[in-house]
Amino acid sequence: MKFSNIKLWTSQRNNTCKAIRIFSNSIGKSVFFSKLSRFINKYLYKFGIGSSLNRYDNSFTFYSSKADGNLYKDFKKSDKFINFGSGAFFHKRWKNYDYPGQSNYYRSIQGSEGKDFYAIDLCSDNLSVPELDESIDLIYCSHTLEHIDHTSSIRFLKECFRILKKDGVIRVALPNTKNDFFLLRCLFSQSLIADDIKENYLRDVASHILTDTQKLSIKEIRDLSNNTDQKSYKFFNHTTKKYANFAKFKMSNPERHINYWDFENLIEISSNIGFSYCIPCYQGSSVALPFTNLHVFDNTESQISFYADIIK
């Protein structure tokens, strides 16, 4: 791929894909819409209609598959794309991998195993993605790395490096917990703000970085925060030293946040693995044009996320 002509800070007004979007409280709860989305993308995409389900904002979108297809103009029909942690995602050109759902609802939005997605446990000690070396052009990994432990995430990123072609891109979306703690410090610096507001904010920030802090009292969380200068990486390290189980994967509850990421450690880790560079991004900006279709990508909790393109 050629990156030289890509504008990373393009306004979202300039990369809009024609679409009709419907909002309803029932969309995020119903299994019907995930089935409808898969049907449309399998059978109607070639006739000009694509669709996506966003269970985080209860929306269902019909978008122009012609406009979406134009974003793949730099790729050949034989090029391959993979989504890890795919959930309800479905796109005609992408292959999905995900941890098998632990609830009837999540299993329904994933679709049929071996057909709509392929089961994978990214925390397996013997992880081996069933793809050939240097065979994949793009990888998407949205809100997945925070759900797997540190050792497993390194192992997984090494597998991504192995299967990506030279100049291939892995796009990651992660919770912006570093910014959470910056906002927390801004809040606590103001003496006139009521304690209950501060405590509610603190509890939310703590659980966003480590889900299991919900088990702690507000006093315990406040002590952990004060002992780490309200710095995100310090809070994570200090808390997981005291409560080691908070950072361990549980097969029965794969949705827990158990790992910490920010731009700095993402750049360091990806460089150590062998990737050429890591480009910090905003939602909808990418060196790879397919990722600029916001009806398909970067739409999971975008208001509290950060993004990066990691290039091999």
At 296, which CATH number?
Answer: 3.40.50.150
- Same domain, residue pair 103 and 125: yes
pLDDT exceeds cutoff 90 at 29: no
268 falls within a domain: yes
- Same domain, residue pair 289 and 199: no
Q: How would you classify the pairing of strands 94-98 and 118-119?
A: parallel
Distance CA(39)–CA(224), nearest Å, equals: 48
DSSP string, 119-186: E--TT-TT---SS-TT-EEEEEEES-GGGS-HHHHHHHHHHHHHHEEEEEEEEEEEE-HHHHHHHHHH
Choose the final residue of a domain: 197, 220, 247: 247
- Same domain, residue pair 147 and 32: yes
- Same domain, residue pair 157 and 200: no
pLDDT in tens, 172-209: 999 999 999 999 999 999 999 999 999 999 999 999 99
- Same domain, residue pair 230 and 299: no
pLDDT exceeds cutoff 70 at 275: yes
- Same domain, residue pair 22 and 73: yes
pLDDT exceeds cutoff 80 at 139: yes
Asked whether 98 and 87 are in contact (CB, 8 A), the reply is yes
Show the tokens assigned to 157: 């990123």
pLDDT for the residue numbered 53: 94
- Same domain, residue pair 189 and 171: no
143 falls within a domain: yes
- Same domain, residue pair 28 and 109: yes
Distance CA(312)–CA(35), nearest Å, equals: 35
- Per the structure, the complete domain to which residue 73 belongs is given by 12-175+260-311
pLDDT in tens, 232-269: 999 999 999 999 999 999 988 999 999 999 999 999 99
The model's confidence at residue 309, banded by pLDDT at 50, 70 and 90, is very high
Number of Cβ within a 10 Å radius of residue 269: 19
pLDDT for the residue numbered 156: 98
Choose the final residue of a domain: 222, 247, 272: 247
